[in-house]
Amino acid sequence: MERRLDERDFAILRRLAPEYEGVLCPEAGHEFHSILPPVSNHIAADEEDFRERVSRLSEEDWRYLADRILSGREDLWCVPEEDIETVVAYIREAVSEEAAEQIGRLYRLSGYEIL
């Protein structure tokens, strides 16, 4: 589902990538439609860098992102599995085990092109 990022989304994106001032996906040349995929795929240097970046988020940010993921407004299908493991671990800690399991399941189903 395509969406336009709002001010809260941009605030989270700025915390994750303060050095990045654009709104265009560097590889695709279009505006970001999600927060975590561009950070994982284009901004973070590697898995460790991604982990450090997402560690900056508050529990409130993680609740917001978990809600967006579960409602289909934050897309994770193109995020590498190692970064999904990091996302799920933070959601487990900040939100709930149930939300983390649902998000892990959604990611696995999207890999099979079921979603």
Average pLDDT by stretches of 10, the chain with 115 residues: 78 90 52 85 94 98 97 90 96 98 91 52
Q: Which residue has the tokens 């599995």?
A: 81
What was the pLDDT predicted at 111? 67
What was the pLDDT predicted at 104? 95
Q: 5 by DSSP, 3-state: which?
A: coil
Q: At what angle do helices 59-70 and 7-16 cross, to 10 degrees?
A: 120
**Is residue 5 within 8 Å of 33, Cβ to Cβ?**
yes
Residue 30 tokens, joined: 């279009």
Q: How many CB atoms lie within 10 A of CB 70?
A: 15
What was the pLDDT predicted at 22? 59
**Is residue 52 within 8 Å of 62, Cβ to Cβ?**
no
Rounded to two decimals, the pTM is 0.86
